[in-house]
Amino acid sequence: MTDTPSRSRDLYQRALESLPGGVSRNTVLRSPFPLYADHASGSRITDVEGVERIDFSNNMTSLIHGHAYPPVVEAVEAQLRKGAAFAVATEIEIEHAEHVLSRSESFEQIRFVNSGTEAVMGAVKAARAFTGRPKIAKVEGAYHGLYDFAEVSQTSRPDNWGDERHPESTPVAYGTPAGVLADVVVIPFNDPDTAIEILDQHRGEIAAVLLDPMPHRIGLVPASTEFVQRLRQWTEADGSLLVFDEVITFRTEVGGFQQRYGVKPDLTALGKMIGGGFPVGAITGARDVMQVMNPLVADVRMPHSGTFSANPITMTAGLTTMRLFDAAAVAKLNDLAGELVVSMREAIERSGANACVVGAGSMFRVHLSKEPPRDHREAFMTKEKSGELKVLLDHLFDEGFIMINTCSLALSTVMTKDETDAFVDAFERGLVRLKS
């Protein structure tokens, strides 16, 4: 740590005593110490030193209207006065349910939970309860939160990932039970032939194929239409379910990224944006599958509860947010993001840097290579690659921009060309610096 006086540095030193690694979530770590926020408004966060930065992280894609969005603040303030959480039902959870269900044909019923992790876990358990099968299949390297089964292979490395045609099931956390690894089948991203070859070896055993249609950690490259369609066909023929993880991709279209493929997943895990800035997740999908959670039948297949699930604060913030993210708002945001990407590509061209930008909707990621990675193995971050990326991230930070730590951006509806133009200028200077 440097000796320059810094309140953030002092706070971090204090935090190291009470929090493992000084933080409550690893993603806020940055070297030599994390940034400590004082307050935020619209597209900007002001830190405890009084420095204001433009926020392109938007709490890891979750703040679709930026910080302290007035309609959300007003609605939540009013609800806070009426109570924050009750062990009785509320009308607002029905209204939010009806709203989310209206956004996609594949959403027939919904249960709210408190995080994306919980949504993915609930969807996997529902698929098991519905099919009576133990296994799931997932894409190598894809991040789906912290549930043991969904975590498998997320951090696979060259020394443990095994043969390309048969990726190993590798644990993320020490102590992951061997049974967990045995019940997760790992398939490569965007390689339908190999994926189907692997799945064929587990016919009749798989409850669900879990797919994020644009997995961030693998590079934020959209799944090919062929990959999605072949997985849909395979699951249908096998009697297993197709589960989409749209925790981050839901922001790309009114009805989520699934809208672009013309396929209907059986279940979808949602989170982030639908909580309007508050902790949230949701399991949604086909009525017959969702019925496994119905407690009114004699033999309930998947009992489901949660102390803070569908609490009225999250429901109020979420519904207010989503109503204001209608088709026109989605299109306007995606247009702004599209223009930004064109300008970033022009900046790359002008600078002659070895870089590219990929993504969709209002989310993009910068790679320091001419072509984006095709799968987890190509996206794998070597020390050299992360070192280079850190130079760019530190440069952008010093110029006043907060990014997702993979060098990804998630725009919000309160942003304008002022923010995106300022970003492109700083980005180009960063690329030139990288080259030299």
Ligand X SMILES: Cc1ncc(COP(=O)(O)O)c(C=O)c1O
- Residues recognised as catalytic: 143, 245, 272
Site track 54-73 with ligand X (rule: CB under 6 A), x = hit: ------x-------------
Q: Is 244 in the site for ligand X (CB under 6 A)?
A: no
Min separation Cβ 412 and ligand X, Å: 17
Q: Is 222 in the site for ligand X (CB under 6 A)?
A: no
Site track 265-304 with ligand X (rule: CB under 6 A), x = hit: ------x---------------------------------
Torsion angle defined by CA atoms of residues 216, 218, 224 and 229, in that order, rounded to the nearest 10 degrees: -90
- Residue closer to ligand X by CB (options 107, 427) is 107
- Residue closer to ligand X by CB (options 213, 312) is 213
Q: Is 33 in the site for ligand X (CB under 6 A)?
A: no
Counting residues that bind ligand X (by CB under 6 A) gives 14
Spell out a b/e string for 411-422, using b for 16 or more CB atoms within 10 Å of the CB, else e: bbbbbeeebbee
**For the chain, what's the residue count?**
436
CB of 304 within 8 A of CB of 134?
no
Min separation Cβ 279 and ligand X, Å: 7
Stretch that binds ligand X, among 121-129, 240-248, 258-266, 348-356 (CB under 6 A): 240-248
Q: In the beta sheet, which residues pair with residue 138?
A: 186, 210
Distance CA 406, CA 403 (A): 8
The residues, any chain, with a CB within 8 Å of residue 274's CB and separated by 6 or more, are 96, 100, 250, 280, 282, 318, 321, 322
Q: Is 245 in the site for ligand X (CB under 6 A)?
A: yes
Q: Which of residues 103-132 bind ligand X (CB under 6 A)?
A: 115-117, 120
- Residue closer to ligand X by CB (options 191, 245) is 245
Min separation Cβ 144 and ligand X, Å: 5
- Residue closer to ligand X by CB (options 201, 307) is 307
- Residue closer to ligand X by CB (options 353, 404) is 404
Distance CA 3, CA 74 (A): 42
Q: Is 361 in the site for ligand X (CB under 6 A)?
A: no
The sign of the torsion formed by the CA atoms of 130, 243, 275, 22 equals positive
The alpha carbon of residue 314 and the mean position of all alpha carbons in its chain are separated, in whole angstroms, by 18
CB of 427 within 8 A of CB of 349?
no
CB of 231 within 8 A of CB of 209?
yes
Min separation Cβ 212 and ligand X, Å: 5
Torsion angle defined by CA atoms of residues 41, 46, 52 and 56, in that order, rounded to the nearest 10 degrees: -60
CB of 253 within 8 A of CB of 259?
yes
- Residue closer to ligand X by CB (options 2, 24) is 24
Min separation Cβ 395 and ligand X, Å: 25
Order of strands, sheet of 135-139, starting from the edge strand that comes earlier in the sequence: 109-113, 281-285, 267-271, 241-245, 206-211, 135-139, 184-187
Residue 47, amino acid: D
Residue 121 tokens read as: 């876990």
Min separation Cβ 95 and ligand X, Å: 22
Q: Is 212 in the site for ligand X (CB under 6 A)?
A: yes
Q: Is 216 in the site for ligand X (CB under 6 A)?
A: yes
Distance CA 216, CA 320 (A): 27
Q: Which of residues 129-168 bind ligand X (CB under 6 A)?
A: 143-145
Min separation Cβ 186 and ligand X, Å: 17
Closest residue to ligand X using C-beta atoms: 116
Binding test (CB under 6 A) with ligand X, winner from 247, 289, 355, 393: 247
Stretch that binds ligand X, among 223-231, 241-249, 306-314, 380-388 (CB under 6 A): 241-249
Binding residues vs ligand X (CB under 6 A):
60, 115-117, 120, 143-145, 212, 216, 245, 247-248, 271
